[in-house]
């Protein structure tokens, strides 16, 4: 295998410069699309070893390779399961649980703004950081 070492990467016209550090820092370190209702099942992922069902609307996303520190960014989104009694007009919150993130996992949730947590048909989680 060959190694390419450069200080700057540019497009063919000499513009749009990026450093290897910018590319490394700006890419997702982990992501997952999983079924959040019924049996929790990963549909597709990168650097996610498993997703644990921690109760209604609560999920632990476990990393294959740990983050170097717990100061990373987690973005969460989802898709409602209309059989849960919620509708597409409900205000649904998808977020990180108010507990410290660890280097090996992050806990996320989904809930209706006017009630308690609820399972979502699909959950989407992306992690950026070191």
Kindly report the backbone phi and psi dihedral angles of residue 93, in degrees, each rounded to the nearest multiple of 5, phi listed first: -110, 130
CB 80 within 8 A of CB 92: yes
Distance between CA 46 and CA 30 in Å, rounded?
A: 5
Flag whether pLDDT at 91 surpasses 90.
Answer: no
Is residue 107 very low, low, confident or very high in pLDDT (cuts 50, 70, 90)? very high
What's the pLDDT score for residue 28?
A: 94
pLDDT in tens, 7-39: 988 889 888 888 888 888 888 999 999 999 889
pLDDT in tens, 31-66: 999 999 889 999 999 999 999 999 999 999 999 999
pLDDT the model gives residue 17: 86
């Amino acid at each position: 295998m060959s190694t390419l070492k450069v200080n700057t990467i540019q497009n063919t016209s000499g513009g749009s410069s990026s450093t290897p550090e910018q590319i490394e820092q700006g890419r997702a370190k982990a992501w997952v699309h999983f079924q959040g209702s019924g049996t929790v099942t990963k549909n597709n992922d990168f650097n996610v070893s498993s997703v644990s069902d921690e109760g209604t609307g609560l999920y632990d996303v476990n990393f294959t390779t740990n983050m170097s520190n717990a100061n990373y960014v987690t973005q969460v989104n989802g898709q409602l399961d209309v059989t849960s009694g919620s509708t597409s007009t409900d205000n649904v919150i998808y977020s990180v649980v108010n507990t410290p993130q660890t280097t090996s996992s992050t806990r996320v949730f989904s809930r209706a703004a006017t009630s308690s947590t609820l399972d979502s048909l699909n959950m989407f989680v992306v992690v950026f950081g070191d």
